[in-house]
Amino acid sequence: MADSAFLTGDLKLAGRLDARFFTLLAAIDSTGSINKAASTAGYSYKGAWLVLETAANLASEPLLARTTGGKGGGGTQLTPAARELLAAWHRLESAHLGFLRAQEAWITQQPALAGLLRRISMKTTARNQFAGRISAIESGPVSTQVTVTIAGGQEIVATLTTAAATRLQLAPDKEAIALVKSSAVVLVTDFAGYLLSARNQFAGTISRVERGAVSSLVILTLPGGTNMTASVTNDAVDALALAVGQPATAVFKAYSVMLAVAA
């Protein structure tokens, strides 16, 4: 597997001989012991023998040669066929890694593609992740309000400490990702003439309801195609009769929004 930021690839020979198998062969070659080699490659002793015997059967010739006696008390060596196989692996592995690195270099020269992959590669438990650009910053002595315009044209407002805004080096037109936990999103189907204090309010249409044992994920599609997900108790889903095609508004506080920017 390549050590690249965007590309990874598993190399296999004949669909089953992978890096772990060849680590096993190399360890046998260096230690002369299947027991030690199995531990190095992450196999049990029985598992190592199983994979070696299967490979030998498919190769139609032995891959290991046992030696007995002598100063070291004997051991296990690779046959010429196994050494040839191991050498081929090393050559192919080097070429494979070189290919991935060349493609990685090409990707980094494509700003839009590299940005997309970088955003996707971020791992977080926040169900809602919206990529956009900072369109406004209002700094105060204690807190800072940041507006991020996302792909659908909607504006998400985040409130964070001024110290955090300074540390993130936020600036207008800088790319940012707004993260909102689904549990922080409240769905409103009827305001009944009331106004809510929450800064972020987005009207859309329910496009999917994924019911679980206790709670449901309700996906709201906004104009422009952006999806927002709310985690709602099943009791609330039933009480509000939430269903696909129903209009609703996703509401969440600015303090519930986390911002991520490229380092």
Domain boundaries, the chain: 19-108, 122-260
Written as six digits, the tokens of 134 are: 């900072």
Q: Are 103 and 7 in contact (CB under 8 A)?
A: yes
Q: Are 24 and 43 in contact (CB under 8 A)?
A: yes
Tens digit of each residue's pLDDT (9 = 90 or more) over 216-231 = 999 999 998 999 999 9
Tens digit of each residue's pLDDT (9 = 90 or more) over 129-175 = 998 999 999 999 999 999 999 988 999 999 999 999 999 999 999 99
Indicate the residue type of 185. Answer: V
Asked if residue 120 has pLDDT above 80, the reply is: no
Contacts 24+ apart (CB under 8 A), 244-247: 244/206, 244/207, 244/208, 244/209, 245/205, 245/206, 246/189, 246/205, 246/206, 247/189, 247/203, 247/204, 247/205, 247/206
Asked if residue 108 has pLDDT above 90, the reply is: no
Query: What does the pLDDT read at residue 5?
Result: 63
CATH 2.40.50.100 describes domain 122-260: yes
Tens digit of each residue's pLDDT (9 = 90 or more) over 196-208 = 999 999 999 999 9
Can 19-108 and 122-260 be said to share one CATH topology? Answer: no
CATH 3.40.50.1000 describes domain 19-108: no
- The mean pLDDT of 125-130, rounded to a whole number, is 86
Measuring CA to CA, how many Å separate 172 from each of 137, 139, 166, 211? 7, 12, 13, 40
Helix axes 19-31, 80-108, angle to 10 degrees: 130
Burial class (CB in 10 A: 0-12, 13-18, 19+), 30: exposed
Q: Does the reported pTM lie above 0.85?
A: no
Query: What does the pLDDT read at residue 123?
Result: 65
The number of beta carbons lying within 10 Å of the beta carbon of residue 88 is 12
- The mean pLDDT of 11-16, rounded to a whole number, is 82
The residues facing 259 across adjacent strands are 178
Instruction: Count each helix (H run) and each strand (E run) in the chain, helices first.
Output: 7, 12
Helix axes 19-31, 34-41, angle to 10 degrees: 140
Q: Give backbone dihedrals phi and psi of 166, rounded to 5 degrees, phi first.
A: -70, -45
Written as six digits, the tokens of 251 are: 């509401």
Residue among 183, 139, 158 nearest 261 (CA):
158
Q: Are 18 and 41 in contact (CB under 8 A)?
A: no
Query: What does the pLDDT read at residue 68?
Result: 67
CA dist., res. 186 & res. 175, Å (int): 26
User: What are the helix (H) ranges across the chain?
Assistant: 19-31, 34-41, 45-59, 80-108, 111-121, 162-167, 234-240
